[in-house]
Amino acid sequence: MNKDKFPSELRLDKASGNWVVIATGRAKRPESFKKVKNGSIKESNKDCFFCNIETQGEPLLVYYKGKKVEGIKKWTTVVIPNKFPAFIRSKSLNRKKRGEFFETMNAVGAHEVVITKNHNKSLALLSLAEVKEVIDVYTDRYNSLIKEDGINYVAIFHNHGPEAGASVAHPHSQIAGIPLIDYDLKKALAKSKKYKKDGDCIYCRMNDWELKEKERIVYENEHFIALCPFTSKVAFQVIISPKKHLSHFENITEQEKESLADAFRTVLRKLYKALGDPAYNFYLHSAPSDNDDHLYYHWHWTILPKTSIWAGFELGVGIEISTIEPEEAAKYLRNQKI
């Protein structure tokens, strides 16, 4: 590898507006792709890096039983830098043209891991206070990262289970601060902006409609609605969004955090029970932290249980096929006693 090369590169297809990351810093030799994945990941907590957190370098944030603390002696949730970052701090973007159709730049930003203490308890099995602590930690790091120069968007996401791409069994989330807003996010923002102009925000109006229709609602509490969307992309997809119009996740109040923790925990427990601890991905969409205010946006979390694999049709045509009506999935989840 060229030693002058930044260890992770963003590449833009100018014609489509799509970016990819070539994470050469964690590059593997071509031969290493040969190993057949059998879907199993290290389950023992004896050798688990995250159980032995003191070997993982300086933590960025430590919580112990609901409170921020200094030092790693006692912890219940901790944030550390990702050892194999896709985004890395730097002052130089070094943006360059490549031929007529492409551009490259350094994948500048931050990439962190949020770890909860118990190796064997995924989020669905945590207490309300423990889930609230995770939300506190998300919010704390989110607020810190959006203030950094060069970070225009902060992605919080969580992969549970090997089928959902989790490469470490110990429960953990990831937070990435990235320098740009991708085509898909731009499209979502443009859509929200357009519909906000015509009246209320599109999510507010959809939530109103869903509350009237009732059949896709999975759960609601004081501040949040969880539902299986009308155009679900996978069976048992759930979206959790605030009832009030909230554009920026960083402005979440203490009360809303309590309420979000309850909604999250309830939905994850229902999925756990209904589908037998399914693999899943979840992620936040919120207004970017670039120079625009994006007040028209409405933040929300999307949970995608790995109930199927997007294959040639989905990848080629861009239309997802699922084999259960969202109405029936929602009813099934609604009726799960947890």
Interface with a second copy in residues 259-278 (CB under 8 A): 274-276, 278
Contacts of 165 (CB under 8 A, 6+ apart): 159, 281
Can you say whether the dihedral through the CA atoms of 57, 66, 227, 335 is positive or negative?
positive
Which one of residues 71, 91, 149, 309 is an interface residue with a second copy (CB under 8 A)?
Answer: 309
Interface with a second copy, residue 102, by CB under 8 A:
yes
Burial of 223 (0-12, 13-18, 19+ CB in 10 A): buried
How far apart (Å, rounded) are the C-alpha atoms in residues 106 and 85?
13
Cβ 190 to a second copy shortest distance, Å: 10
Residue 109 interacts with a second copy (CB under 8 A): yes or no:
no
Answer whether 24's CB lies under 8 Å from 85's CB: no
3 state SS for 239-301: EEEECCCCCCHHHCCHHHHHHHHHHHHHHHHHHHHHHCCCCEEEEEECCCCCCCCCCCCCCEE
∠ Cα 257 252 69 (to 5°):
65
Shortest distance, CB of residue 15 to a second copy, whole angstroms? 5
Q: Can you tell me which of 86, 105, 146, 225 binds a second copy, judged by CB under 8 A? A: 86
Residue 3 contacts a second copy per CB under 8 A: no
- Window contacting a second copy (CB under 8 A); options: 68-76, 129-137, 162-170, 241-249: 162-170
Q: Which of 88, 201, 202, 246 binds a second copy (CB under 8 A)?
A: 202
Candidate list 3, 4, 15, 291; residue touching a second copy; CB under 8 A:
15
Does 164 contact a second copy by CB under 8 A? yes
Site for a second copy contains 73 (CB under 8 A): no
Q: Per CB under 8 A, does 297 bind a second copy?
A: no
Pick one of 6, 19, 249, 296: the residue that binds a second copy (CB under 8 A): 19
AA identity, residue 198: D
Q: How many CA atoms lie within 13 A of 102 on its CB side?
A: 9
> What is the bridge-based pairing of β-strands 61-64 and 77-81?
antiparallel
Under rule CB under 8 A, which residues in 118-157 are in contact with a second copy? 153, 155, 157
d(CA 154, CA 12): 19
Per CB under 8 A, which region of 129-137, 206-214, 242-250, 253-261 contacts a second copy?
206-214
Is residue 39 involved in binding a second copy (CB under 8 A)? yes
Of 44, 71, 91, 99, the residue at the interface with a second copy (CB under 8 A) is: 99
DSSP class of residue 215?
T
Q: Which residues ranging from 220 to 239 are in contact with a second copy (CB under 8 A)?
A: 230-233, 235-236
- Rounded Cα distance between 297 and 288, Å, is 9
- 159, 207, 241, 247: which one binds a second copy (CB under 8 A): 159
Q: Judged by CB, which is closer to a second copy: 20, or 129? A: 20
Give me the least distance between CB of 254 and a second copy, in Å please.
Answer: 25
Minimal CA–CA distance to 78: which of 13, 143, 11, 133? 133
Question: Is residue 43 close enough to count as binding a second copy by CB under 8 A?
Answer: no
